[in-house]
Amino acid sequence: MTAYLDHAATTPARASALAAFAEVAAMPGNPSSLHAAGRAVRRVVEESRESLAADLGAHPTEVVLTSGGTEADNLAVAGAFRARRAADPRRRRILLSPIEHHAVLDTVEHLVRAAGATVTWLDVDRQGLVSVAGLREAIATDPGSVALVSVMWANNEIGTVEPIGELAAVAHEHGIPLHTDAVQAFGHVPLDVHDVGADLVSVTAHKLGGPVGFGALVVRRDIALEPLTHGGGQERGLRSGTLAAAGARAFAVAAHEAVGSRESESARIVGLRDRLLRGAVALDEGIAVTGAWQAGDGLRRLPGNAHVIVEGADGESLLLLLDAAGIACSTGSACAAGVSRPSHVLTAIGYADAEARGALRLTLGHTSTDADVDAVLAVLPDVVTRSRAAVGVGA
């Protein structure tokens, strides 16, 4: 592999996180056991929770450990909906942006089918920015019917960072909780749960250099959730199951390293991203940047996100041709891999199906270098030409 540019799908694990995982995985004992071995492992879990809480701007008691972002999203959305509706049957509406990750969208779809939920879609602009005024208007039509607002912190495809603090403030005017999927944001943009005021925040380890299979949900202490799993009553009774001490430690180590180096790494990665985007556009191959992009800015767009649309090309063929050239990237969310259809994110922000099919997501991270950017720009003209020929454009 010449260049790995799919950090938004999974970022390569940090050496420090792998070492921490191996060290704790070798320890005997169940964190729920009362003997010395169990207490030692439990100490690892709680120290890891404290570290994660500090890096998230939360209290340790608010951090519920999960198997990743998808479980955290499910617990937040379904758990909050069911608890809020149980307290007041009028609360059936979920206010949702149409560009959410499928972990949120599909959970809401299940609640519509099985639990009587209804959806009010929030307005987004061409850059994928959720309208604060639109949220206010959506709530105002019937505040008492709203169970939950869910808007992701940063979009996993086009990289747009949302005004979560403003959105949370509007929701709180009516006592409505706000959930945000911060899977792509944590460790990459400034993120302080308490300062922003989000009530439920989903994060995961493998987007910032931790191992796959470990995540967390920040649950503000006054928020009621109905658990999705039942058993030993771990994690405040919200997520039963034996605690994964090795994963918790590896997650905490990776997160602390990512947050600690965020400012300097953001500046470095933004420089690579901007060179990649400028270079791609300058090829004069009909390549256009999607989302909010201003050179040098790593706050309104994820620092490592270089999402583009290639006119007249097919995203899947672009991906396969780049892969053959030793470059790993994607056409969108890896969680929807194998499904050949236009991105719901791009169609929601106004792109036609034909345009959306030419999407390409190149994402950089802590292992990325100038050589990676050079490798992409060197092969992109030929890749675009061959992709268009495959779909009968420009042949």
Identify the weakest region by mean pLDDT among 57-61, 338-342, 344-348: 338-342
pLDDT tens figures, 267-299: 999 999 999 999 999 999 999 999 999 999 999
Which residues are known to be catalytic? Answer: 335
Tokens of 206: 């493998």
Find the radius of gyration of the CA atoms of the chain.
Answer: 21
Tell me the CATH number at 160.
Answer: 3.40.640.10
Q: How confident is the model at residue 333 (pLDDT cuts 50, 70, 90)?
A: low
**pLDDT value at 337 more than 80:** no
**Model pLDDT, residue 391:** 80
**pLDDT value at 155 more than 80:** yes
Question: Using CA atoms, how far apart are residues 134 and 52, in angstroms rounded to an integer?
Answer: 33
**pLDDT value at 132 more than 50:** yes
**Model pLDDT, residue 25:** 97
| Angle at 338 (CA atoms; ends 336, 342), nearest 5 degrees | 65
**pLDDT value at 342 more than 90:** no
Question: Using CA atoms, how far apart are residues 296 and 325, in angstroms rounded to an integer?
Answer: 29
**pLDDT value at 193 more than 90:** yes
Note whether 290 and 332 are same-domain residues: yes
Give mean pLDDT, residues 343-360.
95
Note whether 177 and 68 are same-domain residues: yes
Question: Using CA atoms, how far apart are residues 370 and 273, in angstroms rounded to an integer?
Answer: 10
Segments forming the whole domain that contains residue 290: 3-10+262-394
Identify the weakest region by mean pLDDT among 301-310, 313-322, 384-393: 384-393
pLDDT tens figures, 74-92: 999 999 999 999 999 999 9
pLDDT tens figures, 26-55: 999 999 999 999 999 999 999 999 999 999
Note whether 78 and 217 are same-domain residues: yes
386 CB-near residues (< 8 Å, 6+ apart): 317, 321
**Model pLDDT, residue 310:** 97
Q: In which residue are the tokens 């495809």 written?
A: 157
Give mean pLDDT, residues 301-318.
96
137 CB-near residues (< 8 Å, 6+ apart): none
Tell me the CATH number at 312.
Answer: 3.90.1150.10
> Which amino acid is present at 61?
T
DSSP state of 143: G
Residue 77 burial class via C-beta count within 10 angstroms: exposed 0-12, middle 13-18, buried 19 and up: buried
With contact defined as beta carbons under 8 Å apart, do 21 and 247 qualify? yes
**pLDDT value at 338 more than 60:** no
Task: Tell me what the pLDDT averaged over the chain comes to.
Answer: 95
353 CB-near residues (< 8 Å, 6+ apart): 342, 347
Note whether 230 and 295 are same-domain residues: no
Q: In which residue are the tokens 């034996």 written?
A: 242
**Model pLDDT, residue 340:** 61
**pLDDT value at 394 more than 60:** no
**Model pLDDT, residue 75:** 98
**Model pLDDT, residue 390:** 84
Residue 294, phi-psi category: left (phi > 0), alpha (psi -120 to 50), beta (remainder): beta
Note whether 347 and 314 are same-domain residues: yes
> Which amino acid is present at 37?
A
**Model pLDDT, residue 341:** 76
End position of a domain, from candidates 256, 279, 302:
256
pTM for the whole structure? 0.95
Note whether 123 and 228 are same-domain residues: yes
**Model pLDDT, residue 186:** 98
Note whether 241 and 283 are same-domain residues: no
Question: Using CA atoms, how far apart are residues 274 and 306, in angstroms rounded to an integer?
Answer: 8
Question: Using CA atoms, how far apart are residues 288 and 13, in angstroms rounded to an integer?
Answer: 31
Note whether 388 and 308 are same-domain residues: yes
**pLDDT value at 165 more than 60:** yes
Note whether 306 and 175 are same-domain residues: no
Question: Using CA atoms, how far apart are residues 22 and 24, in angstroms rounded to an integer?
Answer: 6
The total of other beta-carbon atoms located within 10 Å of residue 190's CB is 15
End position of a domain, from candidates 233, 256, 279:
256
**Model pLDDT, residue 272:** 98
**pLDDT value at 134 more than 70:** yes
Tokens of 137: 């208007």
Count of domains for the chain: 2
**Model pLDDT, residue 1:** 65
**Model pLDDT, residue 395:** 47
Note whether 53 and 75 are same-domain residues: yes
Note whether 209 and 285 are same-domain residues: no
pLDDT > 90 fraction of the chain, expressed in percent and rounded:
95
Note whether 275 and 245 are same-domain residues: no
With contact defined as beta carbons under 8 Å apart, do 290 and 355 qualify? no
End position of a domain, from candidates 256, 287, 311:
256
> How many Cα atoms sit within 13 Å of 392 on the Cβ side?
0
